[in-house]
Amino acid sequence: MDRVLVCVAWPYANGPLHVGHVAGSILPADVFARFNRMIGNEIIMVSGSDMHGAPITVSAEKAKVPPETIANKYHEMHSKALADMGFQYDLYTSTHTKNHEQVTHEVFGKLLAGGHLEKKVTPQFYCESCKRFLPDRYVEGKCPHCGY
């Protein structure tokens, strides 16, 4: 008997799951996990909702609610949809847990301490009227400085 870890892509919690999620990453992983269970392998299948990032911010701004409201809403919706479709996760979690935060800090702390990461300052787009830095998907048009 082999032990097999199946890690499924984490969809953003910014809208309902769609056929692309299911056909692209969820169904193939589930078929692989079921096959391995059927032949007697020990399987752990894990995934969760990505609760951070620009897609969630964009959805939250459109809905005029905080990003956490959107992320929580769609994480619950994803969890229910996956269960309703019969997918067999051993763990379906989110990036908005204390455990995820702790492990992420540990991993990046070790990488930094080991000299595998470089700290540096880079220019970022900033909106004077909004008083915030902007993700790239908020920036459109031609750069007034370099013409890009």
Query: In this structure, what DSSP letter does residue 64 have?
Result: T
Q: Measuring CA to CA, how many Å separate 140 from each of 92, 130, 143, 144?
A: 36, 16, 9, 11
- DSSP of 3-44, one letter per residue? EEEEE----BSSS---HHHIIIIIHHHHHHHHHHHHTT-EEE
pLDDT in tens, 20-68: 999 999 999 999 999 999 999 999 999 999 999 889 999 999 999 999 9
How many Å apart are CA 142 and CA 55, to the nearest integer?
23
pTM assigned to the model: 0.83
Domain ranges, ordered by start, for the chain:
3-118
pLDDT in tens, 34-44: 999 999 999 99
CATH superfamily of the domain spanning 3-118: HUPs (3.40.50.620)
